Structure 1
Amino acid sequence: MSAMNELCNETAARIRELRESSDASIENTAAMMGISPDTLRMYEEGKTDIPIGILYAAAGIFGVDLTDLMTGKSPNLSRYCVVRSGKGPEIERYPGYRFQSLAFDFQNRLFEPLLVTLNPEMNETIAPVTHSGQEFNLVMSGKIRVIIGGSTIDLDTGDSIFFDPSIPHGQWALDHAPASFLTVIMHDHPSDPTKH
């Protein structure tokens, strides 16, 4: 099993453990996440990748930080968090996307900054997603296509976009070359377990 598959299975197990320890039914939890119970079962069993929006929802429902779900460790910094180039934990939640957390060790984050790398060979597997909050993307290298609902926007290095991520959206690498962008996702609630 690859390290990435192991990480995904550990994350799935943490969600299941949190749900079971809070005596929440799979039906009620799935309803709060806006998915079917069968889909939640597949996520909890590690049979399919868990979208980042579902991870945010699980963190909010169970009153834990996203970092807790992803790594099993709580963030412990409150003044500042430095992440050296290439040193943030990697998250591969969707085929074609590689996320690198840029604030994983900072407590009570109001937003989630992530460096996203797109693999053009995986463009065909990328499907639109939705999640709550607000989202900002800044293209760091290459060229990307962003589709939001029925709108298609091509962005070059240095271009940015801010949008409502509750609308189905996705990003694709253009020109058969890898591309990267900074995404900043604003939470509906701070990632502070005492506030849930």
Structure 2
Amino acid sequence: MNEKVKDIAVRIKGLRLLAGYTEEEVADQLGIKLDQYKLYENAEDDIPVSLLYELAEIYKVNITEILTGTSPKLHDICHVKKGEGLKVERYDQYSFESLAYKYSNRKIEPMLVVLDPGNSPEMVSHKGQEFNYCLEGKMQVLIGKEKFELEPGDSLYFNSLLPHKQLALDGKEARFLTIILL
């Protein structure tokens, strides 16, 4: 695992210990098997973004704190210049860039996502609602058994508890803005 994943795992373990929870208790709260949770906490497996959000909720911290080890400080305005968003490397198939990571107590999580054309990620689900806006390329969004094709300018809003994934089409990279209601 890369150093970022190891750092996140250390922070998650530290938060669990500070909260006084056992590994079993956290695994139960997340609805996953204890063995899988241990893999995450020991940096032996990549932690899905949806689980990071759930862990942030359990520990009452901002996800930025889990990702970077620092708490966001801005309360009224957060300006992020092009290319300066917080890179969130969670899956090989997706490249995430958090666009409001400095803003404290966010109610939404806006991210720039780049889809790798050669990969097919697993379906994911997470609490909240999600908005996808295609910026470049052509992409497909699978929600349950339904398929939606998005081209630049197209958008899709959905219940993110439904299993979903995004795919780049035509063998080319696709970029989209996603906004997740936390």
Please tell me the TM-score bracket, short chain as reference: over 0.9
Tell me, in whole angstroms, the C-alpha distance in 2 between the residues paired with 1:41 and 1:96.
23
User: TM-score normalised to the size of structure 2?
Assistant: 0.97
Q: CA RMSD in A?
A: 0.9
1:133 matched to 2:128: yes
Q: Secondary structure at the match of 2:90?
A: coil
Bigger relative contact order, structure 1 or 2 (CA pairs below 8 A, ≥6 apart) = 1
Q: Which residue of 2 aligns with 1:29?
A: 26
| One-letter amino acid of the counterpart of residue 82, structure 2 | S
Aligned to 1:97, which of 79, 82, 94?
Answer: 94
| One-letter amino acid of the counterpart of residue 60, structure 2 | G
1:110-131 CA distance string (max 9 Å, x none):
010000001112x23x111111
Question: Shift of residue 26 of structure 1?
Answer: 1.0
Q: Which residue of 2 aligns with 1:46?
A: 43
Tell me, in whole angstroms, the C-alpha distance in 1 between the residues paired with 2:104 and 2:19.
22
| One-letter amino acid of the counterpart of residue 106, structure 1 | Y
1:176 matched to 2:176: no
Q: Which segments of structure 1 move beyond 6 Å, counting only runs of 4 or more?
A: none
1:86-141 CA distance string (max 9 Å, x none):
111101111210000000000110010000001112x23x1111110110000011
User: TM-score normalised to the size of structure 1?
Assistant: 0.91
Tell me, in whole angstroms, the C-alpha distance in 1 between the residues paired with 2:44 and 2:175.
28
Question: Shift of residue 37 of structure 1?
Answer: 1.0
Tell me, in whole angstroms, the C-alpha distance in 2 between the residues paired with 1:130 and 1:42.
20
Judge which range, 20-29 or 70-79, deviates more. Answer: 20-29
Q: How does 1:1-196 map to 2 (within 5 A)?
A: 5-121=2-118, 123-124=119-120, 126-187=121-182
List alignment gaps of at least 5 residues for structure 1.
188-196
Aligned length: 182
Question: Shift of residue 48 of structure 1?
Answer: 1.1
List alignment gaps of at least 5 residues for structure 2.
none
Question: Shift of residue 11 of structure 1?
Answer: 0.6
Task: State the identity %.
Answer: 43
Q: Secondary structure at the match of 1:113?
A: strand
